[in-house]
Amino acid sequence: MIEGKRILITGGAGFIGTGLAERLVERNTVVLYDCQHEGMPLTYSPIVGHPNLLTIRGDVRDYEALAREVEKAHIVVHLAAIVGVSDVLRRGRETIEVIVLGTSNVLRAAERNQVLERMVYLSTSEVFGPSSFRADENSHPTVGPVTEARWTYSIAKLAGEHLVHSYKMEAGLPTVIIRPFNVFGPKRLGDHVIVRFIINALLNKDLEVHGDGSQIRSWCYIEDFLDGMLAALTRKEAIGEDFNLGCAENTLTIYDLARRVIRLCKSSSQIRFAEVSFTDIDVRVPRLDKARRLLGYQPRHDLEEALAHTITWYRDHLDALALRFAK
């Protein structure tokens, strides 16, 4: 239980930030710092207008504006990043700057914070490269070639991990590193395969699968992931540690995912195969032993149940989302 704290979430208007704020806002002051709020997952949340919720428009690359918020927070959760493969491919320079400079700014300001109890950094499972089967926290990161724009995101997140660890060792900051493995659920927007599949299936449009669809993913429902995040915010054992969070039980190929979405949506959609125009991830499956041991982490939602909940939300918001998706 977290009560009476001031909690700063950078990138807080996004999918994970909104979900975390919903869990914390009743008993804490939650500050969502983001460069954009309109049209973000936050706008679909019932906590908009809550008296304990503060929203601040700001860029994590702006040190002075960011530091004013970091220096008075009891807990800092640093989520801000450019996300989505298509955006990363188009905005490689900005992707690196937002993650690396933004993380450096958060940590510099956190070092001056006299009341800081926890700083959580959200990294990515992509630091393990194109093939990460049962990846644990000691699995070796893989750095892709500079000519492949896909890796700008993961290399920046990996640099952020090293920065966070350095501040823990040299400045004694109470840091935690989290690597999410394919988190999905209601209110996720943007360039995400489950979002595309569900919206197209509800509209009875073709579902586009890259390559032959044999890519393997483990899917983690947002509520399970947030359970792990909250444990990372509260358990003393988490300080100074890094954790992979996902759900290995919900593992299947992208082709099988498309088929399941079509079935659950009762859709007439067909699956269409498209040539892969970017470097893709072949396998992404986490090993969760450390998270279970130190965080008590145990995912509760199987894929069928979680997809059904998610589809219901998208069906309820289909008119607005279909228009947005078509742009």
Partnered with residue 208 across adjacent β-strands are 272
Spell out where 37-86 has E strands. Answer: 53-57, 75-78
3-state DSSP assignment of residue 122:
strand
Bridge-based pairing of strands 251-253 and 216-218 is: antiparallel
CB 234 within 8 A of CB 297: no
3-state DSSP assignment of residue 319:
helix
Q: Which of 33, 153, 221, 297 is catalytic?
A: 153
Catalytic site residue 63?
no
CB 189 within 8 A of CB 225: no
CB 309 within 8 A of CB 185: yes
- The Cα 143–Cα 158 span in angstroms is 9
Per-residue CA distances from 262 to 105, 188, 196, 208, 270 (Å): 44, 19, 12, 12, 8
**Cα 113 from chain centre:** 25
Q: Which residues contact 316 (CB under 8 A, 6 or more apart)?
A: none
3-state DSSP assignment of residue 8:
strand
Question: Which residues are catalytic, by number?
Answer: 153
